[in-house]
């Protein structure tokens, strides 16, 4: 196995883990959406997002990767908010029927 093949195997393994953790995170976002809907809270929480970014950036040891990881977190939270919004909208439609 050459270096490229070995690197690709590592990427494949990382992608499998990311997929599993993505599902876990999005299922947790469902619970967050339900709580927010029940308690009349907004989807966007700037303080929470700042806290998530700061806490998780501190876990990245390789300084050159931090801006890329931060971007990934921002995108992940954007996706989570979109998902929460879709859940809340669908719940509202289901209640009207």
Domain containing 77 — which CATH number? 1.20.59.10
pLDDT at 93: 58
Q: Among residues 41, 42, 68, 33, which one has the least CA distance to residue 53? A: 68
Q: What is the pLDDT of residues 3-33, one digit of tens each?
A: 999 999 999 999 999 999 999 999 999 999 9
Residue of 95 and 35 predicted with greater confidence: 35
Distances (CA, A) of 74 to 1, 6, 7, 21: 36, 30, 26, 16
Quote the CA–CA distance of 52 and 45 in Å, as a whole number.
11
Domain tally for the chain? Answer: 1
Q: What is the pLDDT of residues 31-60, one digit of tens each?
A: 999 999 999 999 999 999 999 999 999 999
Is the per-residue pLDDT at 94 higher than 90?
no
Which domain covers residue 8, as residue numbers? 3-96
**Terminal CA-to-CA distance of the chain, rounded, Å?**
58
User: What's the token pair of residue 28?
Assistant: 């947790």
In this prediction the pTM is 0.86
């Amino acid at each position: 196995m050459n270096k490229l093949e070995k690197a690709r195997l590592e990427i494949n393994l990382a992608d499998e883990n990311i997929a599993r953790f993505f599902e876990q995170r999005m299922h947790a976002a469902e619970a967050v959406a339900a709580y927010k809907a029940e308690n009349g809270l907004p989807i966007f929480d700037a303080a929470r997002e700042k806290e998530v970014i700061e806490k998780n950036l501190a876990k990245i040891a390789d300084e050159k990767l931090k801006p890329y990881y931060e971007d990934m977190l921002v995108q992940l939270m954007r996706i989570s908010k979109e998902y929460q919004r879709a859940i809340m909208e669908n719940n509202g439609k289901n209640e009207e029927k």
